[in-house]
Structure 1
């Protein structure tokens, strides 16, 4: 065999090779050899060491490779060797001949039981990974110093200790021993690791004692002891003079901190979350300037020491779920500028001290689920830096204090689930408030007239305020409020001044049970005609003309007026109410979405049980003069909808409609989502990237479909002239249809997907596939439905000719029939 000087890269990954030839050494120029996932590979040739130019050798996932060959001569250039996932039990004694090796990866070598004593001879080694070597119980003695090894990962191994010679790893910067479940002790020589920066012992659940640190360690800045069995720290912990982060989360046996804790002058973050036996926090005898985050969540602390004030740099103090904390929160005797997050959630506090105002730097105050909290101090308004205040679930809090001065920075206030029955008239002083959440305030009965002074408010949630019967007059315009949720309230009407919410985009009034049929006209007038009593010109919008989404689900409304056409809705949801709408009025304005930021339109009339062929197309509003000719002209309007990327037109569970109503001459409006839509797509599908889905109750594929079949799939032949030079100009697109049945025994309501999958094969048997999926929601009451799915963009991606196999699938549903209608540009 001749030598090959120029071959420098060989990738055999994933092949079925069982071995390499002994002549592999003739590849004298080979630098990269990849054999990842060669699952049949059982051995390597002894001549391997002759690859003198080899730099990287990858054998990851060679799960049958049990023996690595002896290295009979030094290899200077090999600097990366990946043996992860192999079946090796040990490395050869000659491993030290890899004198240039920098990276050695043996992750998840589950058969590896030992490392040879010659390991220390790898003087160039920088990174050694043994993660997941679950049978490795002993780490060898390091007989000589190793200066370059700076990362050692032993996580998930079966080690129960480290050798006393671990101190010879004088260059080690990172030592990872996470989840070493058998690990019980650290050697006293641990403190000799002078270069160590990060030490991870998370999940070492049998480690009960941390050794004395007999010498100072300047560089160790991160120590993770979370989930260990430690019950205390040594008094010499102060010798970790460079420590910045100490994590002891979920140390269930931990009972006390040493007094020397305060000597950790560099400490910034200290986590004790879930130390459920820690009852006493040690006195802080000296000031600690750098500690800015202290997490005591879920501990058994009953109080904080008075010396807590020595944490002069503290920014975050978290004590949520400290269920044993009794008594009052301590008085703040002096101003604290740097504490900006205080989390007291889940504590038993009944009140906050009046001196809370001294926390002049506080930005976040969390008191969620403080079920004993009964009042807030009048000095609350002095927290001038406060940005977020969370009181969710404070179920005994009945009164919110007066805000005596303006608060510019508070922008988020969560009062959901409290016992408040009103807000103070001074609420308008929260001039920076953007979000106010009062969901499920069951006792809340009224809003103050000053509500409209919240000029910055964007989102206001009152969902589930079941005693709120009156919404106040909006005496001034509110430009920024764009989301208002009134669902589940007891409102009977909205004020005529609702039109002053000129920025409103999302209005939810669903599940408002007291909106009775007899009052629906009043509500409609309030919503849609209380903008001056005259039609609104779209070029000069005002009132609620910014409304993008209207949700009237579960209301008892039966009609919408013609004035709905003034709103630029992108989603009109009436499910699952008994809603019968004047669709002409809605579609005249809704389909013009090409100049809107939302490039999709969903018209959802699901579960409109009273919507029938006689109701559709008839004018319900007395002021609506729409003629039948104008209704038929909707076809022209639909052209504008093709500027949308996605159009949904859903009539699921409208049981008074059927497949005949979709094509009957007496109901021209429902022709549109079917035949009119297809006519338009014929002209436009090559230019635009549309996705259109629609459905209606029925059990037959529409008559105008070219191909029909029983079941969920079919094959159709395409003439070859419809695809020339692999161009998509004349290539057909498809509208797919399916009749879907859901057995009553397997469906209890909810959402499911309809997927259309198309396989296109050319003469040379090339095969391409695309799929389009859409989601639909049904109640538990369900009959057969006809679905139409169109995805013009996906078809343009694949331009092959000859034949196509079209298949419709739906999860847990039966596709009884399917059909295909072809669309051609010319």
Structure 2
């Protein structure tokens, strides 16, 4: 540089291979920006420079930096200087407003004389073990730290701090913040710290609180009243209780991996809570009656959860529910319908029998675990079905009478599917006045209740692999709107009631592999709408003469069986299946 560079006020260097830079004569420099000078190992600065206001150093190999004479610095940024081990700062620097430090090897940093600092960011300084803050930092509004070896942090003088972000401070065991005067603090994020207690009683204006992987935290003191708190995220495995009674305006609560949390106290009325997420905690009960505008509910792996209290109407705003990992449901999911679907709801239940209920091992009631999929147009639901399903209970012990009443009490249900270890069909199915499709699959039921014949709007009835089913209701023909009847692999079924010939709208009648069925009703020819008949694998040796009145009827079966009926034009679908037309 020139011997005298008194007029130079701004210097910017980037992507050079300079190894040394002498700026001793540049005493009036105001802005210095050196970036991506990866070979720079020596920087000679003036001993004193009262004019320099902004200094940025990035990606250099400097080991030391002397800024003692730079008392009027306003902005200082040192980043990616991974060899920097010594930084000499002025004892007092009242003009410095913003200081950013990252990826250095500094072990100590003394900022006691920096009382007007407004923003401090220290990131990836993995050797920093000591940070001295001013006794009083009334101007400090934002502090971000990512310093794995820092053990203590004293912020008692930072009474006007608005945003505090401390993460990956894995050795931090002590955090001192103003107990009664943190009225300005709006956002607090603490991650991977080791402190055991956190006192936030004075943080009455906090809007966002995020405690992530604070694995040693056992005590959290919240303000008596937190009217500004809108978002709270906790991941604190050792925390046992959480008191949020004063957080009446909370909008989002996310509690995960709180493996010892047994008590959660919400406000008497959480009028603003829209999202509630609970994962891996030990809560036994949840009261959704306190959250009237909830639109998203996620509960995962809360194995101790026994009861969800959900009064009718409390989920009228809900658009998403996921419930999994509890004893009762694995999982319970709600899928909003697409706009082109009708207004009726759907329920699909897959039941698995359990030997024991982990929550009530001595209970004698039957034990079931369900996979539940419920579909309904949301959030305009007014049926109360979700509340009924969630309030049924979450342990495996199942009172079958109560279970039957819960299912049959659902409103506007258009489709019901029951699969698995279900031994009894709900007795009051006739209460499901809107039901159009009913399916039983792989159940162990032996008969269908007569009430099923009262489903005046039923269009589809399916019985799939119900191996123990022995008989159908004699009045099945009262299902006057039925269009499709499927009896698949009902291997103990022997008799098809003659009343089915009264189903004037029946289009499809399938009974493949009902091996003990030997004949069809003689008046089957009355089914003028019948288009498909599948008798593959049955014991039917002859067809009723009336069936030949159904011109165009498609019959599925084995080739040899169809030919034994006298059909000559038989076509193959596959090696084992053929078809013909009347």
TM over 0.5: yes
Aligned to 2:540: none
Distance 1:377 1:141 in 2: 60
Cα contact 2:102–2:125 (8 A) shared by 1:
yes
Distance 1:275 1:53 in 2: 50
Match of 1:191, SS state, is coil
Match of 1:112, SS state, is coil
Cα contact 2:57–2:79 (8 A) shared by 1:
yes
Match of 1:243, SS state, is coil
Deviation at 1:112, TM superposition (A): 1.5
Cα contact 1:66–1:89 (8 A) shared by 2:
yes
Work out which of the residue numbers 186, 201, 210 in structure 1 matches 2:145.
201
Distance 2:120 2:347 in 1: 44
Match of 1:201, SS state, is strand
Aligned to 1:745: none
Higher strand share: 2
Deviation at 1:146, TM superposition (A): 5.6
Match of 1:265, SS state, is coil
How high is the TM-score relative to the length of structure 1? 0.42
Match of 2:245, SS state, is helix
Aligned to 1:432: 381
Work out which of the residue numbers 162, 168, 171 in structure 2 matches 1:227.
168
Distance 1:186 1:98 in 2: 26
Give unmatched runs, 5+ long, in structure 1.
1-45, 401-410, 479-485, 499-512, 525-531, 536-613, 624-826
Structure 1 residues 448 and 212, CA gap change in structure 2 (3 angstroms): closer
Give unmatched runs, 5+ long, in structure 2.
333-344, 353-367, 391-395, 444-457, 462-487, 492-507, 513-528, 533-571
Q: Deviations over 1:373-427 (max 9, x none)?
A: 2333363653444443321121345999xxxxxxxxxx99999999555979999
Q: Deviations over 1:83-142 (max 9, x none)?
A: 32422223212397795774x442232x2111123561675x54x332222222333222
Work out which of the residue numbers 99, 107, 115 in structure 2 matches 1:160.
107
Deviation at 1:300, TM superposition (A): 1.0
Is the counterpart of residue 295 in structure 1 residue 229 in structure 2? no
Distance 1:304 1:68 in 2: 57
Match of 1:394, SS state, is coil
Distance 1:615 1:48 in 2: 97
Distance 1:173 1:416 in 2: 59
Deviation at 1:369, TM superposition (A): 1.1
Distance 1:320 1:371 in 2: 13
Cα contact 2:85–2:105 (8 A) shared by 1:
yes
Structure 1 residues 243 and 333, CA gap change in structure 2 (3 angstroms): closer
Deviation at 1:299, TM superposition (A): 3.0
Is the counterpart of residue 277 in structure 1 residue 216 in structure 2? yes
Match of 2:311, SS state, is helix
Is the counterpart of residue 130 in structure 1 residue 78 in structure 2? yes
Aligned to 1:323: 259
Distance 1:415 1:118 in 2: 73
Aligned to 1:33: none
Structure 1 residues 413 and 175, CA gap change in structure 2 (3 angstroms): farther
Distance 1:99 1:318 in 2: 49
Distance 2:317 2:296 in 1: 9
Figure out how many residues of one structure are paired with residues of the other and give that number.
429
Cα contact 1:393–1:417 (8 A) shared by 2:
no
Cα contact 1:427–1:450 (8 A) shared by 2:
no
Work out which of the residue numbers 444, 447, 453 in structure 1 matches 2:412.
453
Aligned to 2:42: 90
Structure 1 residues 236 and 465, CA gap change in structure 2 (3 angstroms): same
How high is the TM-score relative to the length of structure 2? 0.57
Structure 1 residues 417 and 95, CA gap change in structure 2 (3 angstroms): farther
Aligned to 2:269: 335
Q: Deviations over 1:595-649 (max 9, x none)?
A: xxxxxxxxxxxxxxxxxxx999xxx8767xxxxxxxxxxxxxxxxxxxxxxxxxx
Q: Deviations over 1:484-530 (max 9, x none)?
A: xx9xx859xxx9649xxxxxxxxxxxxxx9899xxx99599xxxxxx
Matches within 5 A, 1:95-494: 102=54, 104-109=55-60, 111-117=61-67, 120=70, 123=73, 126=75, 128-142=76-90, 145=93, 147=95, 149-167=96-114, 170=116, 172-189=117-134, 191-192=136-137, 194-202=138-146, 204-211=147-154, 213-214=156-157, 217-218=159-160, 220-228=161-169, 229-234=171-176, 236-251=178-193, 253-258=194-199, 261-282=200-221, 284=223, 286-305=224-243, 308-326=244-262, 330=265, 334-353=268-287, 356-377=288-309, 379=311, 381-397=313-329, 420-421=369-370, 432=381, 453=412
Structure 1 residues 335 and 388, CA gap change in structure 2 (3 angstroms): same
Deviation at 1:71, TM superposition (A): 5.4
Deviation at 1:222, TM superposition (A): 1.0
Matches within 5 A, 1:668-707: none
Distance 1:283 1:244 in 2: 14
Match of 1:312, SS state, is coil
Deviation at 1:465, TM superposition (A): 6.4
Distance 2:191 2:347 in 1: 30
Cα contact 2:210–2:233 (8 A) shared by 1:
yes
Deviation at 1:245, TM superposition (A): 1.0
Distance 1:323 1:347 in 2: 5
Distance 2:132 2:293 in 1: 44
Structure 1 residues 187 and 75, CA gap change in structure 2 (3 angstroms): closer
Structure 1 residues 370 and 49, CA gap change in structure 2 (3 angstroms): farther
Higher helix share: 1
Distance 1:201 1:162 in 2: 13
Distance 1:399 1:82 in 2: 57
Distance 2:227 2:251 in 1: 11
Aligned to 2:21: 68
Cα contact 1:369–1:394 (8 A) shared by 2:
yes
Distance 2:530 2:350 in 1: 37
Deviation at 1:200, TM superposition (A): 0.9
Q: Deviations over 1:250-282 (max 9, x none)?
A: 21x211123xx2211221122223222222333
Structure 1 residues 207 and 74, CA gap change in structure 2 (3 angstroms): closer
Q: Deviations over 1:692-740 (max 9, x none)?
A: xxxxxxxxxxxxxxxxxxxxxxxxxxxxxxxxxxxxxxxxxxxxxxxxx
Is the counterpart of residue 57 in structure 1 residue 12 in structure 2? yes
Q: Deviations over 1:769-797 (max 9, x none)?
A: xxxxxxxxxxxxxxxxxxxxxxxxxxxxx
Structure 1 residues 294 and 425, CA gap change in structure 2 (3 angstroms): closer
Matches within 5 A, 1:372-771: 372-377=304-309, 379=311, 381-397=313-329, 420-421=369-370, 432=381, 453=412, 497=460, 522=510
Deviation at 1:165, TM superposition (A): 4.8
Cα contact 1:336–1:359 (8 A) shared by 2:
yes
Structure 1 residues 351 and 264, CA gap change in structure 2 (3 angstroms): closer
Q: Deviations over 1:61-88 (max 9, x none)?
A: x4x4321133535676x85633324222
